[in-house]
Amino acid sequence: MVSRKQVCVIGAGVSGLVAAKAFAAHGHKVSVVEKASDLGGVWNPARSYPDVQTQSPKDLYRYTDKAMPDSFPEWPTGMQVHAYLADYARDHRLDCLIRFNTSVTAMNRRADGKPGWTLDVMTPEGASSENCDFVAICTGQFSDPQTLGLPGEGTFRAQGGEIMHSSSYNDASLAKGRRVVVLGGSKSATDIAVSAVKSGASEVTLVYREPVWRIPYFIGGLVNFKRILYIRAQEQMFSSWGMGALARLARMIAKPLVWTNWRGLESVLKMQFKLDKCKMLPETRIEDGINCSVPIATPGFFPMVADARIKAIRGTFDHCEGKTIVMSNGERVIADVAVLAIGYKLGVPFLPETHRAKLVDADGQYRLYRQIANPDLPDLGFVGFNSSFCTVLCAEMAANWLVRYADRELAHQPSEREMRDNIAMMLHFRRMERPAAGVYGGLCVAPYHYKHFDELLADIGAAKRGRNRLVEMFTPPDADAYAQFLASAPTYKAAA
Ligand SMILES: Cc1cc2nc3c(=O)[nH]c(=O)nc-3n(C[C@H](O)[C@H](O)[C@H](O)COP(=O)(O)OP(=O)(O)OC[C@H]3O[C@@H](n4cnc5c(N)ncnc54)[C@H](O)[C@@H]3O)c2cc1C
């Protein structure tokens, strides 16, 4: 019999909500702590820049038991995603489990010798600590903004200039009539540059390190990219981990076909975005960089670069001289607002160094079995660290896996030895065979969604009944089908 645990879920974003739901559904007592005053994580309106919308189509960015409303567009806005998450929390009575404005500042093994952890938390009322039997860390990869110490930024601010991280650029009026410079090449950077143009900025400059391949919402202007890039057939264009001799031979034979596939896609993108005219033709092969960092092209971005509404400069910020930002190539741009779309610090800052050393190798690679658990950190797991282009489904799969792992109810409960061997194999794959899989500390399952889900479902003991292999080969993951797969897993409930 599984005994009821006190489970603490840290974070109330996409991942924390579904983790809370999974643990509560299996009979555990759940408490969610969230440092912000609202749920949603990156979709919390207080943290969203104007015009933010998903990169993933709505049927790929949803929980298995709740479709996004028909009234939402194919790529919902940030506000719509937030409303969807708030609804989901209400539907499953998760809202009453969340304690807002509560930040975890440290966690340590319990001093009373019992399994579990003691969390140090900070609230507006002060600091306190609490014990729990199991912790689900759902803090995502976008909580701690990167900073940039820019020489001379004091003089920039003194003259009325504003410098802010992209997560603080949440008011379109900031741009109106002003000279805006955006640093970065991610989707956030191009979204903000386009938004600034539309909001009436007097000048918009984008400063980026190198041109990267960007994927349009519609490839060739016609086909929704999910029908080309999210399908199992495309996934099989990549070499992956654990391939046997036969699979490697098949890959070798198919090499010319695979090569043609990628060169064809590059040609389409080159023409569609007029990359030569924009002087933004990437120097790398598209297949070498496909991972979670591949941006979707912001509609309007390339046309605005082509007609100079956005001035694109290759380089980075070097220093400020008054209101002039001097670039690494010597170019000088006078600005009123500088937006740093430079990403976030990856990490679990509240985990003490002794534990963090077990979780993260010196080169930043995470040691997580299935991107969820570490054999040297018991009574603890991570949800949403298996990020991708369909993170909601990834988080839900991870949550369903984690609760069973915590209760030793996986159909295939891995031994510590098995977990260590698998972690070592995956680290080798990322370091030696596919460096692109090492982005974000190796916490990105794209482009291997199907393979990752297959592994989790097999561990859980879920059957893929009614699955049509051929259909699955040419269609993106279907959330409704995954609801059925998960429902086929053996059920149980923890008791007091
Ligand atoms: C602008 C933007 C667009 C995106 N679009 C897509 C997309 O289209 N498709 C896709 O798959 N992914 C997308 N992503 C990735 C996105 O991060 C995930 O899809 C998903 O929202 C992550 O959810 P999460 O719950 O894991 O993390 P988050 O949303 O980051 O939530 C983590 C929560 O933990 C809280 N927290 C952190 N530290 C603490 C602490 N110490 N104590 C208490 N609480 C804490 C935070 O306040 C936050 O609420 C996007 C990301 C961004 C930034």
138 ligand 1 Cβ < 6 A: yes
* Dist CA 402 CA 27 (whole Å): 14
Nearest CA to ligand 1 atom 41: 104
pLDDT in tens, 121-173: 999 999 999 999 999 999 999 889 999 989 999 999 999 999 999 999 988 89
Nearest CA to ligand 1 atom 33: 11
**Token pair recorded at residue 17:** 């909500």
143 ligand 1 Cβ < 6 A: yes
384 ligand 1 Cβ < 6 A: yes
32 ligand 1 Cβ < 6 A: no
Cβ within 8 Å of residue 496, ≥6 positions away:
3, 4
CA of 299 to the centre of ligand 1 (A): 23
139 ligand 1 Cβ < 6 A: yes
CA of 42 to the centre of ligand 1 (A): 4
If the chain, 496 residues long, is cut into consecutive pieces of 10 residues, what is the mean pLDDT of each piece?
Answer: 96 98 98 98 91 94 98 97 98 97 98 95 97 97 91 96 94 94 96 96 98 96 93 91 89 92 96 96 94 93 97 97 96 97 95 97 97 98 95 98 98 98 97 92 94 97 82 92 95 93
Residue 109, Cβ neighbours under 10 Å: how many? 18
**Token pair recorded at residue 229:** 């890039």
* Dist CA 327 CA 325 (whole Å): 6
Q: DSSP code of 442?
A: G
84 ligand 1 Cβ < 6 A: no
* Dist CA 186 CA 208 (whole Å): 9
pLDDT in tens, 74-97: 999 999 999 999 999 999 999 999
pLDDT in tens, 430-467: 999 999 999 999 999 999 999 999 999 999 999 887 77
Residue 462, Cβ neighbours under 10 Å: how many? 22
10 ligand 1 Cβ < 6 A: yes
Which ligand 1 atom lies nearest to the CA of residue 48?
1
**8 A C-beta contact, residue 450 and residue 389:** no
53 ligand 1 Cβ < 6 A: no
3-state secondary structure of 168: helix
For tokens 């001289």, the residue is 321
Note if the bond before 447 is cis, omega within 30 degrees: yes
Paired residues of 103 in beta bridges: 122
For tokens 């000048």, the residue is 203
CA of 237 to the centre of ligand 1 (A): 29
Cα distances (Å, whole numbers) of residue 199 to 178, 304, 350, 411 = 10, 14, 39, 54
103 ligand 1 Cβ < 6 A: yes
Q: DSSP code of 433?
A: I
pTM as predicted? 0.95
